[in-house]
Chains A and B, each alone.
Chain A
Amino acid sequence: MDQALSLNLPKLTSRRILWNEIVSDVLVRFFALIPLSALAFIMYMIVRKGAGTITWHFLTQMPLNGMTEGGIFPCIFGTLAITLMMILMALPLGVAAAIYLTEFSGHGMFFRVIRAAVNNLAGVPSIVFGLFGVGFFILFVGRNLDHVLKTGMLFGQPCMLWAAATLAVLVLPVIIVSTEEALNAVPQSQRSASLALGATKWQTIWNVVLPQARGGILTGAILSISRGAGETAPILFTGCAYFLPRLPVVHLFGVIPIVNPFDQFMELSYHIFIMATQSLDAVKTLPIQYGTTLVLISLTFLLNLTAIVFRIHFRKKMGTVSI
């Protein structure tokens, strides 16, 4: 026995133990500071360098002189338009999928396979979504729609519609997972009560479960808007434009301006990328790069913060306080 102990724990003097305790403690505490300081560093640098550029003019004007001057209004417009279109596609599908998973599927093999598919979808590289967007949406769906509807080259080209669809596929797992969580948080007893009163399963879901899960679903929607606004790789080939002299707007019946889903668009994250790497004069446009980054990071930061606050509030209401 003594032999075994001394084999397992060689030379464990009390000083050595103390030393191990202190080193581990300090090291782990130091590591825990790194995510916080990385976030602080990024935010600080971008705000310090970018704040000078942000003017009303910068936010509301078109780019000028080969994009070395002027504003980024088309990028802001494009980002808002495409994320709105994306959430309109992704939210109904994702919520419906989550309802099926929590309320109908049970926890058998089928459930596990779909779970695995959702998790795997979340891990698909964003550039692969870009390839998928080109191969499936534009070349397969788009071209075939054109062929059937005889619309020439309306659908079979990169445009906002397909970029939004590609992003919708990308954020689908985010929506499904957060909706599922929200639905699971609704107590089972409430469902039973509703069913006992004679409501059908769907009536129960629609009138009892969904209203209580609204906060959680909204959180998921905000998170996915933030995610979609920040993604660049999936839209590189599915509709983003280096520069457009006009906004992607079409006038319905000649008067009502609406976003044209068949036009290309400019976008904030793509704008940062091209200004930083492919601009004719990358040094001269540095202020624009910092300014655009600040706008994008403020947008995603605020959205994420809203989602976090929402979720804490929502969980408190549901009685599960832990973060």
Chain B
Amino acid sequence: MDHKLFKKDVRFGEWLIQKLLLVAGISSMLIIALIFVFLFKEAVRFFGTANPLDLIGKWTYDDWEGHYVFKMMWQSISEVPKYSLLPLICGSFLVAFPATIISGVLGIGCAIYLSELAPPRVREILKPTLELLAGIPSVVIGFVMLAFIATFAQNIFHTKFRLNAFVGSLGVALAVLPIMITIAEDAMRAVPKELRDASYALGATKWQTVWGTVVPAAVSGISAAIILGFGRALGETMIVLMATGNAALVTGNIFSSVRTMTANIAAELGSVAQGSEHYYALFLVGAVLFTFTFGLNLVSELVLNKMRQKLRM
């Protein structure tokens, strides 16, 4: 009898623990869902007072021109507040695109070196180096860009603004480089040795094998790395806040000062009254940003999953 009771107790304990662990297990899913809910809950309230067209631009009387002008601007603190998302999205992409290209080229190069060329000794040094680089706080990279690189770059390119999208994208490229290398390298190392051997057996040289066999075989992993890197570059906050100059312009000039979605939120949320139109507008920017990065993350996750499944076969 006693024995049975003990068993029952244990079984209940096990059951309880498993349920508690389950709750913890789904916590990350729950948090993603909560982020969705609480961003969009505040974001949609923007439309309570504002016109959806405001997100593109606003017809505003221009004293200088003397007539109404369609202004695509983010001017949250002015007589007629304007909340056009275009300059912010433009700024984000103007930083994230070059950053992804730079870190993509460098990252694939590094990944090839690490997976195809590096002797184990060198790998043992380079891999931790990447982790240490990834561990540098983004505010420090932003500070280095601001304090050392910006003036240096201005002297080379003779740009009008010291802080511009290019300086920002250099910093962002540095920040997303480690994760890109890691994923691309994993993809290349997952390419079976047989494929390389077959290529060599057909008389291909080392680099013909790399470019003709390894890279094409790992292309899904490499693209996942690039997509993920692009998502991280869009979401980078402190570097762009410190190094891009924060002028909200619709421009295609990489050497002009820009303001990204992330920097815009970081710069303005601190001084805004909760419940105002401006406040909701900032959450709307956050929701747009989150949608972008969530989509990119999801795509890269799917690509990686597909690759893993293919390699398991």
Contacts and interface: CB of A to CB of B under 8 A. Distances in A.
Contacts of A202: 13-14, 17-18
Interface in A223-257: 223, 226-227, 229-233, 236-237
A226 B181 contact: no
A273 B242 contact: yes
B178 A35 contact: yes
B136 A230 contact: yes
Contacts of B54: none
Interface stretch (B37-45, B63-71, B81-89, B153-161): B37-45
Interface stretch (B107-115, B191-199, B251-259): B107-115
B133 interface: yes
- State the main secondary structure of chain B at its contact with A: helix
A34 B110 contact: yes
Contact of A35 (B10, B110, B282): B110
Contacts of A139: 274
Given A114-B28, A131-B286, A300 B139 contact: no
B206 A42 contact: no
Contact of A119 (B262, B274, B301): B301
Interface string B122-150: 01101111111101111111111011100
B238 interface: yes
A112 to B, nearest CB: 7
Given A25-B207, A36-B126, A226-B135, A120 B301 contact: yes
A34 B106 contact: yes
Interface residues of A, number: 90
A131 B39 CA distance: 7
A160 interface: no
Interface residues of B, number: 92
B200 interface: no
A120 B210 contact: no
Interface in A164-218: 169, 172-173, 176, 200-202
B28 A35 contact: no
A48 B166 CA distance: 26
Contact of B293 (A124, A226, A273, A304): A124
A4 interface: no
Contact of B24 (A29, A35, A96, A129): A96
Interface string A242-278: 0000000000000000000000000001101100110
Given A32-B113, A139-B274, A121 B28 contact: yes
B41 A135 contact: yes
Interface in B198-229: 205-208, 210-211, 228
A308 interface: yes
Nearest to B231: A123
A232 B105 CA distance: 29
Interface string A88-112: 0000111011011101110000001
B110 A39 contact: no
A323 interface: yes
Contact of B35 (A17, A124, A230): A124
Given A100-B25, A229-B137, A232-B139, 12 more contacts: A30-B109, A35-B181, A38-B177, A45-B144, A94-B24, A123-B293, A125-B235, A132-B39, A227-B135, A231-B137, A236-B266, A272-B139
18 contacts: A25-B207, A31-B106, A32-B113, A104-B21, A117-B29, A121-B31, A123-B232, A124-B35, A139-B274, A140-B38, A200-B10, A201-B18, A230-B140, A236-B266, A273-B139, A273-B238, A308-B131, A323-B128
Interface of B: 10, 13-14, 17-18, 20-22, 24-29, 31-32, 34-35, 38-39, 41-42, 105-106, 109-110, 112-114, 117-118, 123-124, 126-133, 135-144, 146-148, 174, 177-178, 181, 205-208, 210-211, 228, 231-232, 234-238, 241-242, 262, 265-266, 269-270, 274, 282-283, 286, 289-290, 293-294, 296-298, 301, 305
